[in-house]
Amino acid sequence: MLKTVKLSQANKTAGCAVTYRAGKANKYDTCPAKCELNASGRGCAPSAVDAEYLDAVLDSKPRSGHALTYSHFSPLYWAHKLHPQKTVINYSAPNLSAAVSCVETGIPAVAVVPVDFWKKNGNAKNTNIDGVRGVRCPAEYLAGVGCVNCGGDKAPLCARLDRDFFVMFTAHGVGKKKAGDPDAAGGCYADGGNVALHWNATSNADDDGLTDAQRLRAFAKTLPPRSVLRHHIAGDIGKE
């Protein structure tokens, strides 16, 4: 199931168009079951990508605008489809080393770090790992900055396909301790707070007979030029 919001009011995504994606039986059913942040026991096989939905995500980029999203599915299943004129998919890397490897092979990537990471690093706004730069999400420390204006006149950081850095998010939400601990399963930020409310509502929505891909393509056509669209704030590209 897919929920669409033409103008988000959430702090980080205010001013953006956003979507939420969930399984009909369980909200995690479009996510990979082996995602390190998913301790639900539900989800897809590692290769179970919904090809129709993936293509719709890639194609649903507002005219003269930007579109971005994140996936815990291996880039092996979608990176070959990335293109400058399409939505940028960022690999949600399980650790910093994996994020570095992505940058070295030209794949957009992000990574989650523990709550105390920046304090331990002298409150720097970026870091360097094996010669690859990691940049902290500006919305975490700059007032008035969110996905809609991150990056200034250029594209938002996560909407830049050809970049020589990965983006770093500080673990947050009710499960932030688990999210920041590579040895602990669980910690998905979407499993609590307002995001969880939207995600649960998406899972329980009435079925209108359309596929998620069809809903998304129809929604994208309604967005004005120069919009910023963030796909599936919760959920992923998996096939139920």
Residue range of the domain that includes 86: 2-230
pLDDT mean over 57-79? 97
Indicate whether 239 belongs to any domain. Answer: no
Q: For the segment 137-191, what is each residue's pLDDT rounded down to a tens digit?
A: 999 999 999 999 998 888 999 999 999 999 999 987 776 777 667 777 777 878 8
Residues near 47 by beta carbon (within 8 Å), at least 6 away in sequence: 77
Indicate whether 235 belongs to any domain. Answer: no
Own/partner pairs, 82-86, CB within 8 angstroms, 24+ separation: 82/58, 82/107, 82/108, 82/161, 83/58, 83/161, 84/161, 84/162, 85/61, 86/58, 86/59, 86/61
Indicate whether 149 belongs to any domain. Answer: yes
Indicate whether 85 belongs to any domain. Answer: yes
Least Cα distance to 60 among 215, 236, 235, 239 occurs for 215
pLDDT at 144: 92
Indicate whether 165 belongs to any domain. Answer: yes
Indicate whether 117 belongs to any domain. Answer: yes
Number of domains in the chain: 1
